[in-house]
């Protein structure tokens, strides 16, 4: 296997930026089901929504038959965006995904010169409806190849696929732990089917936790409606104001040098509709994506840490603000109990990152591999304590 480069009342809708492509005149068979999922997350963190039809957008999806290169007509006027896009652009691909009942499109990034590609799980599973979809990949030069699904991870919404090719340009990974708020970024992907689209912005926030619909394939895909319990995942993301729209899912968020800092995964829209970018987009950090992709490439699946504690937001009845993750119960013989964490403790830091809520803690724990050793800081009776915790394996919950 080839190695790859490592260098008040407002309501927001968290939507997977992955789009249904234009379809030919349907044959007279069972109706097609749209593949764009929307998870609505209000300030109260309630998750609602469901699989919706592909005609929900008021604009038509445009099928770009061939990706366009970064056009430079005047080399004296080239800026950093052109440079970053030129460096990373050949490593970003467009995906077309189809099953017998639905279809969609998205983006991906090349991991290796021989055709391993990283994308979102919700793209290749059509929002959790199937794990047997036909996937086609359009490369930067316009060539189209069939792809094989190597494996997907519904816990962090990532997947790896493979095309048979040689001499491709893999993306170069950057260390997402070294990022700064305000740093310039470029998003590259295929919004609304427009391959090789480049948008510019900054990092708006780091270590943001959001909840999105799980892409886990179920036995009854037609009944997938998100009620908020057991139907969503909490993930830690980079927030950006670079325009991200349906079709950008699985694409690249890169720095000024064209190095990958995140995999675009979700957008927020104001209100209950499916409007496009309002400048609030999210990407899975490159370090998390790198670790999970490597495990999928090696074994077909990824591992995730397990703390072994039941937690809730640390807040009172008069405030919606949370100041940590309150430990209600620890699992006997679990990782937390073995390290000395007790019921009544309030987790305020995990692996060097601040914990403000139970969702924060869940997302941070799952971002770590099974067996990882991390430092956990808690408040106990007004005293700040630190524990070394060897995480369990989330697979043990199944």
CA distance 148 to 132: 10
Predicted local confidence at residue 219, as pLDDT = 55
CATH of domain 1-302: 2.40.10.120
CA distance 241 to 238: 10
Predicted local confidence at residue 272, as pLDDT = 57
Closest by Cα among 371, 225, 223 to 295 = 371
Tell me the mean pLDDT per 10 residues along the chain, length 398.
Answer: 44 54 41 26 25 27 50 86 95 95 94 98 93 94 95 96 97 98 97 92 97 78 34 93 95 98 92 73 98 97 97 86 96 97 98 96 98 98 97 90
**pTM across the whole model:** 0.83
**249 contacts 193 by C-beta, under 8 angstroms:** no
Asked whether this chain's domains 1-302 and 305-397 adopt the same fold, the reply is no
Predicted local confidence at residue 18, as pLDDT = 58
CA distance 284 to 157: 9
Active-site residue list: 122, 157, 249
Predicted local confidence at residue 55, as pLDDT = 24
> Given phi > 0 = left and psi -120 to 50 = alpha, else beta, which region is 60?
beta
Residue 81 CB burial class (10 angstroms; 0-12, 13-18, ≥19)? middle
Predicted local confidence at residue 70, as pLDDT = 78
**375 contacts 355 by C-beta, under 8 angstroms:** no
Every domain of the chain and the residues it spans: 1-302, 305-397
CATH class of 305-397: mainly beta
Residue 315 CB burial class (10 angstroms; 0-12, 13-18, ≥19)? middle
Predicted local confidence at residue 230, as pLDDT = 42
CB half-sphere exposure, 138, CA atoms < 13 A: 20
Predicted local confidence at residue 24, as pLDDT = 43
Predicted local confidence at residue 75, as pLDDT = 84
Predicted local confidence at residue 178, as pLDDT = 97
């Amino acid at each position: 296997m080839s190695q790859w480069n490592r260098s008040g009342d407002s309501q927001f809708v968290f939507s997977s930026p992955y789009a249904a492509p234009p379809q030919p005149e349907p044959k007279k068979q069972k109706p097609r089901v749209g593949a764009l999922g929307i998870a609505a997350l209000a300030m109260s963190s309630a998750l609602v929504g469901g699989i919706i039809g592909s005609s929900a957008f008021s604009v038509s999806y445009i099928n770009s038959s061939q990706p366009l290169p970064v056009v430079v007509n005047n080399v004296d006027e080239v800026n950093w965006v052109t440079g970053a896009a030129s460096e990373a652009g050949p490593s970003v691909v467009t995906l077309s995904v189809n099953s017998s009942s639905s279809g969609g499109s998205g983006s991906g990034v090349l991991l290796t010169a021989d055709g391993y590609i990283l994308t979102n799980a919700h793209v290749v599973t059509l929002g959790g409806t199937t794990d047997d979809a036909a996937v086609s990949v359009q490369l930067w030069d316009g060539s189209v190849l069939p792809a094989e699904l190597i494996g997907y991870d519904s816990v962090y919404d990532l997947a790896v696929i493979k095309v048979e090719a040689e001499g491709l340009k893999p993306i170069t990974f950057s260390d997402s732990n070294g990022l700064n708020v305000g740093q310039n970024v470029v998003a590259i992907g295929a919004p609304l089917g427009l391959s090789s689209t480049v948008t510019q912005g900054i990092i708006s926030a780091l270590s943001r936790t959001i909840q999105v619909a799980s892409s886990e394939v179920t036995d009854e895909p037609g009944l997938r409606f998100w009620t908020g319990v057991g139907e969503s995942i909490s993930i830690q993301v980079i927030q950006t104001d670079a325009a991200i729209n349906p079709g950008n899912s699985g694409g690249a968020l890169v720095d000024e040098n064209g190095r990958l800092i995140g995999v675009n995964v979700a957008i927020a829209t104001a209100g209950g509709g499916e409007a496009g970018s309002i400048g609030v987009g999210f990407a899975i950090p490159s370090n998390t994506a790198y670790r999970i992709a490597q495990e999928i490439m090696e074994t077909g699946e990824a591992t995730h840490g397990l703390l072994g504690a039941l937690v809730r937001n640390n807040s009172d009845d008069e405030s919606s603000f949370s100041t940590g993750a309150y430990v209600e119960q620890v699992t006997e013989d679990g990782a937390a109990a073995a390290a000395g964490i007790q019921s009544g403790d309030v987790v305020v830091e995990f692996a060097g990152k601040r914990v403000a809520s139970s969702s924060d803690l869940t997302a941070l724990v799952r971002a770590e591999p099974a067996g990882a050793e991390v430092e956990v800081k808690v408040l106990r009776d007004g005293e700040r304590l630190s524990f070394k915790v060897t995480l369990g394996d989330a697979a043990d919950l199944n």
